[in-house]
Amino acid sequence: MAETIPSFADYDHIIVAMSTGKDSLACHLKLIEDGADPAKIEWWHHDVDGQEGSSLMDWPITRDYGAKLADAFGIPLYFSWKEGGFEREMCRDGAPTARNHFETPSGLKSAGGNSHKTGTRRKFPQCSADLSVRWCSAYLKIDVASTAINNQERFLGKRTLFVTGERAQESAARARYKTFEPHRTDLRHSPRRYRHVDHWRPIHAWSEEQVWDIIRRHGVNPHPAYHAGFGRVSCMNCIFMSHNQAATIQAHAPDRIGKLANYEKEFGCTIHRTLGVLERAAKGTPYEAATSEAMKRCLGEEYDLPILVDPKNWIIPAGAFGESCGPT
């Protein structure tokens, strides 16, 4: 079936949900190759840990790598997050969910957090394709982005293309996603608050080969975690981590995985129903590519390698085509 490419000239804004992983990067590169005007593009990155000091889930290097990646392409990068991030949401005990913060062209804004509806979590999100129980994606990414669109006047009376990088190859659940549909914030039929927002998944039909190929063509040095052997990059301590990923993190950042283990003990409930995270680490083998130097870079806060390299010298990272454990 022929691929449908939206007419970019019909949009005022193009937002790319930029995790800094390979799929969101491929979305941006495809937009450029398909002729989208870079001046209309902006990247949105959701900090899963928030910006209030929690360091439970995210790779420490991601923010700086993302900032330098955005600089290299001349694209504005806006960070957004739920206050207190994953940790606060997970520890909610008879309390309402926190508000969301989002950077905008006119500064930092906040919205939400006014609900009187209280709730208690005190357990990790469940490893399920159902977003109502795997609440991390819904509460820390999807809702944060929707809040940021709903609360910026600049999208009213305009047409916006919202771009995300899910691929059918990743899971049966993702295979069922539509490639193009009205975004959940769309108000195209509202006579008083018109806002047209389309959701496009431009690489939905792509294979992993195609993703790495476009990154190679543009000579982009991918997120350091790929060089350390990880096949998917979003949260370092993703609830979907494999035994080998757990073993790699245990070998290089025992304090980070130790925090997960402490919460498992406190909640009396492990992330996976049968084994605790440290038992899983004990069953795995650290990635060979996760050398001290490679992991030091992932665990640092300053990215010190070039972002763009000559495509002729581009090297496929060790994590490509490897274990692909991540959100289903």
Q: How far is the CB of 275 from ligand SF4 (least distance, A)?
A: 17
Q: Count the site residues for ligand SF4 by CB under 6 A.
A: 12
x/- map, 233-262, ligand SF4, by CB under 6 A: -xx--xxx----------------------
Q: Does 137 bind ligand SF4 (CB under 6 A)?
A: yes
Longest distance between any two alpha carbons in the chain, whole Å? 59
What 8-state DSSP symbol labels residue 159? E
Task: Tell which one of 29, 136, 253, 277 touches ligand SF4 (CB under 6 A).
Answer: 136
Token pair listed for 317: 């990272």
**Reduced DSSP (H G I as helix, E B as strand, rest coil) percent helix, strand, coil of the chain, to 5:** 35, 15, 50
| Closer residue to ligand SF4 (CB): 140 or 161 | 140
Three-state SS for 17? strand
**To the nearest whole angstrom, how small is the minimum distance from the Cβ of residue 106 to ligand SF4?**
28
Judged by beta carbon, residue 14 or residue 236, the one nearer ligand SF4 is: 236
Torsion-angle region of 223 (φ positive above 0: left; ψ -120 to 50: alpha; else: beta): beta
Query: With CB under 6 A as the contact rule, which of the stretches 20-28, 108-116, 133-141, 146-154 interacts with ligand SF4?
Result: 133-141
> Please, which residue, 41 or 235, has the CB nearer to ligand SF4?
235
For the chain, the distance separating the N- and C-terminal CA atoms, rounded to the nearest angstrom, is 25
The CA R_g of the chain, rounded to the nearest whole Å, is 19
Q: Binding pattern to ligand SF4, positions 176-215, x when CB under 6 A? A: ----------------------------------------
Q: 125 or 222, CB closer to ligand SF4?
A: 125
Give the whole-angstrom CA distance, residue 73 versus residue 239. 31
Residue 175 or 315 with smaller CB distance to ligand SF4 = 175
Residue 105 is classified by DSSP as T
CB 12 within 8 A of CB 41: no
Closest approach of ligand SF4 to the CB of residue 272, in Å: 13
Q: How far apart are CA 229 and CA 287, in angstroms?
A: 6
Binding site for ligand SF4 (CB under 6 A): 48, 57, 125, 136-137, 140, 234-235, 238-240, 327
